[in-house]
């Protein structure tokens, strides 16, 4: 039986000098976890292109237990953004979805008409109905 030694590193505690040596998607992940731990994460400062978008977002989903990463991954794939994705783009998708949900909730609560909502979102009524289903909202 072999006697193997394994070194385990807590990614969220790697110093910046070490993280800056990474040149792959792992740098994006390492920066994310460290800066989230410190409360200093700002996606707009991370312009590095993510090569393996699905893998990175899946890793973030698993480790943060935040299912929204799966939804963002689907949006990015549907929009064919692969090859042009950074954490800044991921943040843009979060914001866009938040705006959509906010407008749809205004419609749901009868504070905004469907017609105005469609105009604001620049979508058809049919697309609006699809988004209602997607976000599991109903409008009376």
User: Do the domain assignments include residue 74?
Assistant: yes
User: Do the domain assignments include residue 4?
Assistant: no
User: Do the domain assignments include residue 95?
Assistant: yes
- The alpha-helical segments, DSSP class H, found in 1-140 are 16-19, 25-38, 53-64, 68-78, 87-108, 114-121, 125-134
Average model confidence (pLDDT) for the chain?
88
Domain count, the chain: 1
DSSP annotation string for 68-99? HHHHHHHHHHHTT-TTS--HHHHHHHHHHHHH
User: Do the domain assignments include residue 119?
Assistant: yes
What number is the average pLDDT over the span 68-80? 83
What number is the average pLDDT over the span 70-86? 79
Q: How far apart are CA 111 and CA 128, in angstroms?
A: 16
Phi/psi region, residue 14 (left: phi>0; alpha: psi -120 to 50; beta: rest), is beta
User: Do the domain assignments include residue 125?
Assistant: yes
Q: How far from the centroid of its chain's Cα atoms is residue 81's Cα?
A: 13
Determine the structural domain holding residue 77 and report its residue range.
11-134
In percent, the amount of the chain with pLDDT more than 90 equals 45
User: Do the domain assignments include residue 98?
Assistant: yes
User: Do the domain assignments include residue 5?
Assistant: no
User: Do the domain assignments include residue 139?
Assistant: no
């Amino acid at each position: 039986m072999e006697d193997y030694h394994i070194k385990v590193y807590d990614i969220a505690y790697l110093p910046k000098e070490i993280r800056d040596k990474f040149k792959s998607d792992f740098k994006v992940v390492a920066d994310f976890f460290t800066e989230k731990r410190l409360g200093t994460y700002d996606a707009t400062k991370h312009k590095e292109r993510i090569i393996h978008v699905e893998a990175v977002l899946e890793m973030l989903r698993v480790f943060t237990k935040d299912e929204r990463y799966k939804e963002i991954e689907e949006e990015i794939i549907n929009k064919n953004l692969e090859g042009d994705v950074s954490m800044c783009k991921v943040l843009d998708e979060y914001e866009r979805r938040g705006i959509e949900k906010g407008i749809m909730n205004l419609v749901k609560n009868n504070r905004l008409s469907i017609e105005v909502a469609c105009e604001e979102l620049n979508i058809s009524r049919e697309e609006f109905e699809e988004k209602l289903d997607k976000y599991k909202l109903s409008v009376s």
